Structure 1
Amino acid sequence: LISGKAQAEGGSARTSLLILVSIFLSAAFLMFLVYKNFPQLSEEERECIKVPRDMDDAKALGKVLSKYKDTFYVQVLVAYFATYVFLQTFAIPGSIFLSILSGFLYPFPLALFLVCLCSGLGASFCYMLSYLVGRPVVYRYLTEKAVKWSEQVERHREHLINYIIFLRITPFLPNWFINITSPVINVPLKVFFIGTFLGVAPPSFVAIKAGTTLYQLTTAGEAVSWNSVFVLMILAILSILPAVFQKKLKQKFE
């Protein structure tokens, strides 16, 4: 089905990309408005207000945000929220550093909820973008991979939330691929959001915990220890167990 649509709709990929660029520019303008309402910064501080690309950037950004967080709490929170959602929506790298940064800026429960919500909303916006304009792109450039994942989704259709949670915890599929192909292979948006919200919690737990010692980190990789990897593996297995057990029971009674 998907391979057939690739031929039928592949020609409109260029139009879809143009629409996507227009949406991106509109979102970027909204981000500009968010930062226009930010507190008055010095020239040195202004240089630190950017999407972190490494741990040094994250430390510099954390230093500036922590300085203004108490006095301009809402502005900093809105800027953090908007930036995280923006990165997730357009699959722009850097959200891992924002997850770590949340552990430095906010109490753990708030940081975890914030990261899960931003991840869920951003991924859902990416899903909707793909639903609106991304289908021709998927049909044209990701047909083979989408077909393979479509088969996996059909196998787990009865336990789709568990499967999405499993995929979010594990690194088997890139998050951007899950986001843009899910609407094409008919993963319901509600299931997608819930699975993402819950699935990003375990890895976010690790990142946020690392954020409490932000200035002791030199790379994002240091946020992950062997203990945390082991815990994530256990949680990934637990997330998929209900589907496995029900399948076994169904086979037994049949």
Structure 2
Amino acid sequence: MAAPRSVVVETGSWILDRSDEEERNGESPSGKKLKADKFPLSRWEFAAALGVFLVFSTGLLCIYITMPAAEYQMLKLPRTLGDLRLLKDHLATYAGLHPAKFILGYCSTYIFMQTFMIPGTIFMSLLAGALFGVVRGLFLVVFNATAGASSCYFLSKLIGRPIVNWLWPEKLRYFQAEIAKQREKLLNYMLFLRVTPTLPNLFINLASPIVDIPFHIFFLATVIGLVPASYITVRAGLALGDLKSIKDLYDFKTLAILFLIGSVLLFPTLLKRKRISE
């Protein structure tokens, strides 16, 4: 009588049979891996992230409840240009009557969104241009974007590695290799990344502490590098009624200008590479 498959160890079929049995029971190694891959954070990492989120949310709620009750119905995050135009019309009067409260609420919301990677900060930048003009609007946007990016940097330092490895493993390896090449001119390279849309700002914020970019380099590159794109967005807010689509903000001409500025910032790095090669 033929030996049961489960005891034929010599041929290695026991391993296969064990896999077959686990698959039937829903416990295959691949199944376990998929289960593990579904959520990258450990219990403690998740608790830390939730704690930070609750602290930020509580602060935002405290600011929200100090606003006049009549204004609550006007407040919502815009998701379309139509929403943004309505919000701008409502908030223009409120910003005039309560400038300090409005700026506090605006800054808190922007930083909250940037910290926790909530989409829609581009609408907040357009709103700054529409309500405050180019100079004050640009200052507000750069300040909030830098504060939010810095907050995201430290949050990622705490719990970001498993998330980035889970979402963008290939992109993270590429970024790490590029950072290793650019160590001596890291500020120039980070400025290039901030000015140009080579890598999403969200990814840069999360991945920077993981690939050991010092915070002072990250901070300087963010403050300076966000100015060109922020200027374009804030200035577009002045003509909010004429804007048909968010895509119109970054047409070919605009992208070409951003890449030109980025290339100028990257030039010292390229020049040093050439000298070394010679």
Q: TM-score, normalised by structure 2?
A: 0.80
- Structure 2 distance, partners of 1:126, 1:237, is 27
- Structure 2 distance, partners of 1:56, 1:97, is 11
- Structure 2 distance, partners of 1:228, 1:14, is 44
**Corresponding position: 1:33 with 2:62:** yes
Letter in 2 for 1:251: S
What is the Cα-based RMSD across aligned positions, in Å? 2.1
- Structure 2 distance, partners of 1:233, 1:65, is 35
**Secondary structure in 2 aligned to 1:106?**
helix
The answer (yes or no) to whether the contact 1:169–1:232 under 8 Å persists in 2 is: yes
Letter in 2 for 1:210: A
Q: Which has the higher contact order (CA 8 A, sep 6+)?
A: 1
For 1:234, the equivalent position in structure 2 comes to 260
CA 1:140/1:221 → structure 2, altered by over 3 Å: closer, same or farther? closer
Pick the structure with greater CA Rg. 2
Segment of structure 1 superposing worse, 115-124 or 128-137? 128-137
**Corresponding position: 1:106 with 2:132:** yes
Segment of structure 1 superposing worse, 139-148 or 75-84? 139-148
The answer (yes or no) to whether the contact 1:16–1:134 under 8 Å persists in 2 is: no
CA 1:204/1:11 → structure 2, altered by over 3 Å: closer, same or farther? closer
Deviation string for 1:129-180 (max 9, x for gaps)?
A: 0112223333455444322211101111122122112112222222221111
The answer (yes or no) to whether the contact 2:192–2:262 under 8 Å persists in 1 is: yes
**Corresponding position: 1:18 with 2:47:** yes
Segment of structure 1 superposing worse, 94-103 or 56-65? 56-65
**Corresponding position: 1:78 with 2:104:** yes
For 1:189, the equivalent position in structure 2 comes to 215
Match of 2:272 among 226, 237, 246: 246
Segment of structure 1 superposing worse, 33-42 or 50-59? 33-42
Match of 1:56 among 66, 82, 102: 82
- Structure 2 distance, partners of 1:67, 1:11, is 45
- Structure 2 distance, partners of 1:16, 1:241, is 40
* Correspondence list, 1:23-172, <5 A: 23-41=52-70, 46-172=72-198
CA positional deviation for 1:12: 5.5
CA 1:239/1:66 → structure 2, altered by over 3 Å: closer, same or farther? same
CA positional deviation for 1:39: 3.1
The answer (yes or no) to whether the contact 2:129–2:234 under 8 Å persists in 1 is: yes
Q: TM-score, normalised by structure 1?
A: 0.87
Deviation string for 1:24-62 (max 9, x for gaps)?
A: 1221121111111223425xxx34311111111111221
Letter in 2 for 1:220: I
Segment of structure 1 superposing worse, 122-131 or 231-240? 231-240
Segment of structure 1 superposing worse, 155-164 or 136-145? 136-145
**Secondary structure in 2 aligned to 1:107?**
helix
Letter in 2 for 1:58: L
CA 1:104/1:12 → structure 2, altered by over 3 Å: closer, same or farther? closer
- Structure 2 distance, partners of 1:228, 1:65, is 29
Letter in 1 for 2:63: V
Q: May I ask how many residue pairs the two structures share in their alignment?
A: 241
CA positional deviation for 1:11: 7.6
